[in-house]
Amino acid sequence: MQANGTRVVTPSAEAQVTVADTTSGFGVAQGNRAEATILLPARPGPVEQYAAQEIVEHIEKVSGVRLSIKNETGNETTAPGEQRFISVGLTRAFQRAMEQGAIRARKWPANPRFDALTSTLRNAVKEGPLAQFPANGYLVRTVGDTLFLVGRDDNGNPLQDTVSAGTLFAAYEWIEKQLGVRWVWPGELGTHVPRASRVISGRWDVQSRPPLLSTQMTLTIGRTLFSSIEGGYTPEQRKLVEQNEAAWYRRNRFARAINLNYGGHAFEDYWDRFGATHPEYFNLLPDGKRRPSINSRVIGMSVANPGFQKQVIEDWKKERSAERPWINAVENDTSGLCVCAECIAWDVPDPELEVPWEHRLEYARRAFEANERLWHRYLGSLSDRYARYMLAIQHLARETDPQATVLGYGYLNYRKPPLATKLNSNIVVGIIPEAPAPLSYLWPLNKKASQDFENEWKGWDKSGVSLYLRPNYLLSGHEQPLVFPHQVAKYFQTAYKHGLIATNYDSLTSMWSTQGPNLYVAARLHWRPDWPVEKILDEYYSLFGPAAREVRNYFEFWENHSEKRGEEVVEQLAGPYLPHTRDLVLKWGHFYRVASLIFTPTEFATAERHLTAAKAAARGDEAALRRVAFLEAGLKDAQLVARASAIEMKLEQSGDTDSMSRIVTAIDDHRKEVVKAFPHALNLDVAAFNENKSWDRSIYRAMSQAHGAQKLPVEGWTLRWDPEQRGAQDQWYRQPGNAADWHAIEIAKPWEKQEIGRKWKAEHQTDYDGWAWYRVKFKVDEKRRGQQLSLLFGAVDESATVYVNGREVGVRKFATSNDWRTPFFIEVNDALKFGQENELVVRVEDKSGDGGIWKPVWLIERRAG
C-alpha cells in the first residue's frame, strides 16, 4: 500500500501536472477532533454532494472523526478565513481563487486521438472556470488553509458511469493518495483503510483527467441477462451486493466519456428487413446462394456492396443521437463469408494463407461442399476488405457529418491488421483477444495467443484507427480459481503502450473470492495504466495484513496451475477429438461442466494447505482472518463444483443421480451460508445462470430426499389422444385398445415439440389441448422388494393421474402457477411387481400452452422423515 507521508510525483501519460506532497499541509482531523470543514456550493449538484459524502465517510473510517459539511450561503463577499476547508466542487471560494489568480487552470495538452472523438460530443462545457476541462477532468489544489477538489461534472447520478464526475474523481484521487485507502473488492471487507490518529490535507497541485476516454467492465449483478436467475440471494442481499458493487466500480473510477455500447453486431435484423427485397446486401456463399448459413441473426454481409452501405447510412441518419452519434458498422457475430466479385476484389493477398492466393476460392468451395465448419479459413485474412468497408461507410457519412465516426471490430477472419488500407482516427476498432487460432475462444490464453495479440494490435495501431480493447476472457473460469493477473496486465499494457483509447470488458463476473487478483488488476490498471502488475498485486495482498505472503503463495499456486493446464489444453485440442474438452472447456458458460479436468482434488488439497498457513499467519488479526475465511468460502465452493463436474461427466454411464443430487444440494446449502457471511465471495446469479444449463436444481432438490434413483426410459413411450375424454370410463389404463391409436413419443419435451404434436396441429390447425394418455413399460429389480418406492416426475404440464399395472396410484392436480414445472412424487410401492415388467400409464390433462410429461421420471426410494 501507498504509505501515508510520502511525496508522490506521477508523470502521467497526459503530461498533466500531478504533484502531491502528502507530508505537509494543514490539519484535517487530530485525535478525536475535527480541524477542518467540508465546504459545498450553496446549491451543490449530485456529483458534488456525493463527493462530499465520500470524503466525510472515508476520513471517518481512517480517523474516527466525522467532519461537518457547510453549504455556502451564496452571499459571501470574502474568502473563508480563520477556518480550514476542504472545498468540494464549484464553490464561490474556488471561483474567487480563480478570479484572484491563486489558482490557474493550465492549458490541456492536445491529444489527437482523444480530441478527434470528443470534439462533437454532448455536454461540452462552454463557459465558466472549467470551460476547457475534458469530461471527468479534475483539479486538486491546496491554497493556504483550503484544499480545493473540483472537476467537470454533469448534473446526473454520480454512480452512473456516463455522468462526468470530475469532482468525485478529485475526491478519490485525494482519498487514495492522502489517506492510503484502496478499494480491492466491494464492501467493507474488501476496502483497505489505514487507521491514523492525524489526517492532514497534503500540499497538492494536480490537474488531470482519466488516462482513457472510456472504461468499462460490464457489471453482471442486476444485469438483465442474469437477474431473471434465482441464484440464491434474498432481495435484501441482492440490493446490498448491487449497491456495494456500484460504489466499488466508481471508486475505481470507471467512466465513459464516449459511448462504445452499441450492442455490437449491427445488422442482425437485416435479413428480416431486406432478405426478400435486397438479397445483394448479404453474403454470397460458395453454393451461389445469398442466405444465412447458421441463422438469420448471424448472417454475414456483402460489405463491398454499395446498396448495403447506403442502407447503413440511412439507418444511422434516422437513429443517431447525442448519446449514440457514431455509425455502428460491426459485422454480425460471424466471420466474413461473402465470395461475391465485389467483395473478393477488395481483398489483399494474405501472406500467411496456407493455400495459393489465386486458388483460394476453389479451396473454400471444396471445403464448403464437404461441410467443413471452417471452410472460410481458405479465404485468408479479410481485414483489408473490412477496412475498405469502414472507409466507404465513413466517406458516405461525411456528406451528413464531416466528423463522422465509424465503429467496427477486429475479430475472427478480419482480426489481423489490414495490409494495404490506410485508415484514420475517426474509425474506432474494438479488438477482441482470443485463444490461439484457430481455437478462437476465451481461454486458454497462452504465450502464443498473447504474441498474436501483440502483433495484431500493433498492426491496427499503425493503420491509423482509434483502438479499444474488448476482452471476453474475464467470463471464463466459472467460479473456479482460474487465476491469470499477469496475462490480464500484459494484454492491457500492450494495448496501452500502442494507442489504447478505451476498454469494454465483458464482464465483471464478480467471483471475488476465487478470481480476486484477475479482477483487481484489471480494474486498477484503468486508472494506473503504467503501473507494474507486481505493484498492483502488492496492494491486493497487503489487504491480508500478516497473511499477505501466504495468500500470495496461494494465488501464485493457482496462477501457475492455470497456466500449465491451459498449455496442456491447447495441446490436447490439437490432437484427437476429446468431446468434453473441445465442446465444453472453451465455452465460458459451460466451464463448470469440465472444471474437474482443470482442477483436481490434488490441487485443492495443496490450496487448502496454503490457506491453513495463511490462517496461522493471520492469528490475532481479526480483519485478516475474516479475509482469509472469505477466500476459504470461495475455495470450498470451487471444490464442490469441481466434484459435481466429475460426477456429472459420468452421469450418462453411471446413472448416479443420487450423488449428483447430493452434491448440488451441498453446493446450494454452502452458498446460503456463504452469502450471509460474505455477500461478495461469489456471484450467485452468474453461477446459477451457467449451472442451470445442465443442473435441474428442482429435481436434484427433490431427489435429495430420496435415494436409489432408477431413471425410466425417456424414449419408448406411446401416447393416445383423448379429445372426448373417454379413456377413464373405458379404462385405457387397463385396456389400451387398438395399438394403432398409440403413437411413439418421448418424455424429454412437451408433445407440441414432437412429431405427434406437430401432426395434430397440421390436421387441426391448432395445438392439442385436453386429455392424453402416456404408456411405458419398465422393470423393477427383485432386490428392491421391501423398499418404500415412489415415482419421481421431473415435471408434467399440467395435471396428471398415475396408474401402475392397472391401478390408480395417485393424482397430481395443477393447483398453483408453478406446478407445470415442479417435480413431484407418487407412491407406488403396493402396485409394483418385483423382478418383472411393470406398466405405467399417465393421464395428462392440459388446458393451455405446452402439454405433456416433459422431464424424466425416476423410480426412487423416499427417505423416511
Binding residues for Zn ion, rule: CB under 5 A, are: 302, 338, 340, 343
Record the cell numbers describing residue 339, joined without a space: 465470395
183 bridge partner residues: 191
d(CA 136, CA 118): 12
Nearest distance in Å: CB 370, Zn ion? 22
Nearest distance in Å: CB 285, Zn ion? 10
Q: Which long-range contacts (CB under 8 A, 24 or more apart) does 549-554 make?
A: 549/617, 550/610, 550/611, 550/613, 550/614, 550/616, 550/617, 551/610, 551/614, 551/628, 551/631, 553/610, 553/613, 554/607, 554/610, 554/611, 554/614, 554/631
Nearest distance in Å: CB 340, Zn ion? 3
Record the cell numbers describing residue 486, joined without a space: 499477469
Nearest distance in Å: CB 308, Zn ion? 8
| Residue of 85, 252, 255 lying closest to 181 (CA atoms) | 252
d(CA 229, CA 155): 34
Question: Helical H runs in 358-476?
Answer: 360-369, 383-397, 447-463
Residue 522 phi/psi, 5° resolution? -60, -45
Nearest distance in Å: CB 300, Zn ion? 9
d(CA 27, CA 83): 11
252 bridge partner residues: none
Beta carbon nearer to Zn ion, 302 or 704: 302
Nearest distance in Å: CB 388, Zn ion? 12
Nearest distance in Å: CB 273, Zn ion? 18
Angle, alpha carbons 774-776-778 (nearest 5°): 150
As to burial, measured by CB atoms within 10 angstroms (0-12 exposed, 13-18 middle, 19+ buried), residue 580 is middle
Question: In Å, what is the CA distance from 498 to each residue of 37, 408, 427, 461?
Answer: 44, 18, 16, 6
Beta carbon nearer to Zn ion, 362 or 715: 362
Nearest distance in Å: CB 290, Zn ion? 9
Nearest distance in Å: CB 331, Zn ion? 12
Question: Helical H runs in 64-100?
Answer: 92-99
Cβ-Cβ contacts under 8 Å for 470 (sequence gap 6 or more): 409, 430, 431, 432, 503, 504, 505, 506
Q: What is the DSSP string of 157-225?
A: -TTSTTS-BHHHHHHHHHHHHHH--EE-SSSGGGEE----SEEE--EEEEEE--SSSB--EEE-TT-HH
Nearest distance in Å: CB 438, Zn ion? 23
Q: What is the DSSP string of 634-700?
A: HHHHHHHHHHHHHHHHTHHHH--HHHHHHHHHHHHHHHHHHHHH-TTSS-HHHHHHHHTTT--HHHH
d(CA 491, CA 469): 9
Nearest distance in Å: CB 305, Zn ion? 6
CA torsion 551-553-559-565 (nearest 10°) is -130
> Strand 85-88 to strand 138-143: parallel, antiparallel, or no bridges (unpaired)?
unpaired
d(CA 163, CA 301): 35
Beta carbon nearer to Zn ion, 166 or 408: 408
Question: In Å, what is the CA distance from 171 to each residue of 148, 151, 501, 697?
Answer: 9, 10, 24, 46
Beta carbon nearer to Zn ion, 302 or 394: 302
Record the cell numbers describing residue 766, joined without a space: 391448432
CB 788 within 8 A of CB 862: yes
d(CA 792, CA 700): 11
One-letter amino acid of 770: G
d(CA 642, CA 464): 46
Nearest distance in Å: CB 710, Zn ion? 57
Beta carbon nearer to Zn ion, 91 or 302: 302
Angle, alpha carbons 836-842-848 (nearest 5°): 160
Nearest distance in Å: CB 442, Zn ion? 30
Beta carbon nearer to Zn ion, 93 or 338: 338
Nearest distance in Å: CB 435, Zn ion? 29
d(CA 516, CA 158): 26
Nearest distance in Å: CB 284, Zn ion? 6
Nearest distance in Å: CB 341, Zn ion? 8
Beta carbon nearer to Zn ion, 386 or 544: 386
Instruction: Establish whether the linkage from the previous residue to 568 is cis, with ω within 30° of 0.
Output: no
d(CA 623, CA 268): 51
Beta carbon nearer to Zn ion, 343 or 800: 343
CB 426 within 8 A of CB 394: yes
Beta carbon nearer to Zn ion, 343 or 772: 343
Beta carbon nearer to Zn ion, 338 or 642: 338
Nearest distance in Å: CB 153, Zn ion? 48
Full 3-state SS string of 789-846: EEEEECCEECEEEEEECCEEEEEECCCCCCHHHCCEEEECHHHCCCCEEEEEEEEEEE
624 bridge partner residues: none
Nearest distance in Å: CB 289, Zn ion? 13
Residue that is written with C-alpha cell 409394483 in the block: 832
